[in-house]
Amino acid sequence: MTAQELFDRLKSIQPGAVLCSYTMEYCEKLIPIINEINELKKERNAVILAHSYVAPEIVLGVADYDGDSFKLSQDATKVQADMIIFAAVRFMGETAKILNPTKEVIIPGPLSGCSLADSITAEDVRNLRAKYPGYTVACYINTTADVKAECDVCVTSSNVYKIISNLPNDKIIFVPDRLMGANLQEALEKNGIHKEIVLFSGCCYVHEKYDPELISFFRSQNPNLRVVSHPECHPGVALLSDYVGSTGQMVKYIKDQPEGTPFLLLTECGLNARMHYEFPNKQFIGSCSMCKFMKSNSLENILESLRHPKKAAKVELSADVMARAKHCIDEMFRYAAM
Ligand code: 13P
Ligand code: SF4
């Protein structure tokens, strides 16, 4: 790739709407790193998976697979290469390791947590099970492998509604996202599906900040506005949105709207940046809300992981946890395919 090619693809990202802005000079600085990464990938027989929230130069310049957490977990099962560099957060790397255990999985970002995954422990799940016997325990994919190992089924933001409504048990413990859980309860009730759902106290520090009043304000400025939000946002935000879905589903919704449509995108700003270069003829009124965990991935630390894989942070899990967590993830694939 040349700096001109990179610049041509990134130049439509507008400063002010997102924090990243690309000049030709900046692309000239990035390109030797991108090219070295792409060379080293071949030498090490490695592939790069990247979530849409990481910096655009990672998604555009070096990723072999990109998308939302459900798609990336499916992609992880297909990898033939020896090494997976997962530019995202640790729970996604763990899921890749569980689904493709012979591969070496490396997380390049030093802040590889997630406020949801870090909000709950395996012991919390065991305590909930003891308190609510007979309940099915469903967890969001944003959980550690230890937590998944204690749960019956996991879900992602793209299939939470489908899976929970298809569960044969009407008594469900849903962990850890209380806002996604509240959105789920409202959506089920709206469609006449009655489930007793016990929630936990976790939430995403990026999405919980969005305020319904922000929507009212932007709508008053622009009556044609389409508001697109993530199910980790507050139910008041979901209620006022035109579309609520996973990052991958948001991309599809935006793609299907006519050119010129203005959007207010209520999710991490990496997706906003991505929309700027994928749909330069659509308008995005952005709020920039960044996930420090996702944004701790960089071209530099990906390059470092490929240069010195022995020193990189590898995902290592016990055989017992892997087997039990795999069952929970496999149940998600089974219900999602129904
Ligand atoms: P998606 O599954 O929509 O990509 O969500 C992952 C995530 O971490 C959202 O904050
Ligand atoms: Fe976790 Fe929120 Fe970051 Fe997604 S945006 S990885 S839920 S902290």
Of 77-81, 181-185, 308-312, the range with the lowest mean pLDDT is 308-312
Average pLDDT over residues 125-140: 98
CA of 192 to the centre of ligand 2 (A): 30
- The rounded mean pLDDT for the chain is 93
User: Ligand 1 pocket, 143 CB below 6 A?
Assistant: no
Query: Is the beta carbon of 142 within 6 A of some atom in ligand 2?
Result: yes
Atom number in ligand 2 closest to CA 291? 3
Any ligand 2 atom below 6 A from CB of 115: yes
Look at ligand 2, atom 6, and give the residue with the nearest C-alpha: 114
Q: Is 232 in the pocket of ligand 1 (CB under 6 A)?
A: yes
Average pLDDT over residues 218-235: 94
The residue written with tokens 């044969």 in the block is 168
The closest alpha carbon to 63, from 73, 45, 74, 51, belongs to 51
What is the number of the ligand closest to the CA of 297? 2
Please report, rounded to a whole number, the percentage of residues in the chain having pLDDT higher than 90: 83
pLDDT at residue number 289 = 86
CA-based angle 135:125:131, to the nearest 5? 50
Beta strands in the chain, from DSSP E residues, in sequence order: 46-51, 65-67, 83-87, 104-106, 136-140, 153-155, 171-175, 196-199, 226-229, 243-244, 262-266, 283-286
Of all protein residues, the one whose alpha carbon is nearest to atom 3 of ligand 2 is 291
- What per-residue confidence (pLDDT) applies to 223? 86
Ligand nearest to C-alpha 118: 2
Pick from 106-120, 122-136, 285-299, 304-318: least confident? 285-299
- Inform me whether the pLDDT recorded for 99 exceeds 80: yes
Q: 258-296 pLDDT, tens per residue? A: 998 999 999 998 898 899 889 988 988 866 789 999 999
CA of 227 from ligand 1 middle (Å) equals 17
Query: Ligand 2 centre and the CA of 89: distance in Å?
Result: 8
9-45 tens-digit pLDDT: 887 776 544 456 788 888 999 999 999 999 999 999 9
**Which of the four pLDDT bands, split at 50, 70 and 90, describes residue 8?**
confident
Pocket residue to mutate for ligand 2, from 204, 209, 292, most atoms within 8 A of Cβ: 204
150 CB under 6 A from ligand 1?
A: no
pTM of the shown model:
0.92
pLDDT for 17: 40
Segment 169-225, tens digit of pLDDT: 999 999 999 999 999 999 999 999 999 999 999 999 999 999 999 899 899 989 899
What are the residues whose beta carbons fall under 8 Å from the beta carbon of 258, sequence distance 6 or more?
Answer: none
Task: Find the 206 Cα to ligand 2 centroid distance in Å.
Answer: 7
Per-residue pLDDT, 15: 52
Six-digit token string for 326: 């795999």
Q: Is 312 in the pocket of ligand 2 (CB under 6 A)?
A: no
With tokens 């929309």, the residue in question is 275
Instruction: Report the pLDDT value the prediction gives residue 23, as an integer from 0 to 100.
Output: 84
pLDDT on residue 1: 87
Alpha-carbon distances of 195 from 25, 156, 236, rounded to whole Å: 56, 19, 21
pLDDT of residue 286: 66
Per-residue pLDDT at 248 exceeds 50 = yes
Residues across the chain: 338
Q: Is 142 in the pocket of ligand 1 (CB under 6 A)?
A: yes
66 lines ligand 1 (CB under 6 A): no
Residue 70 has pLDDT above 70, yes or no: yes
Pair 36, 303: CB distance under 8 Å: yes
Judge if the beta carbon of residue 244 lies within 6 A of ligand 2: no
Residue 192 three-state SS: coil
User: What pLDDT is stored for residue 26 in this prediction?
Assistant: 87
Q: Which atom of ligand 2 is nearest to the CA of 88?
A: 6
Q: Percent of the chain at pLDDT above 70? A: 97
Q: Tokens in use for 262?
A: 């203005």
Cis status, amide bond into 176, omega within 30 of 0: yes
Helix, strand, coil % (nearest 5) of the chain?
Answer: 50, 15, 35
The pLDDT of residue 33: 97
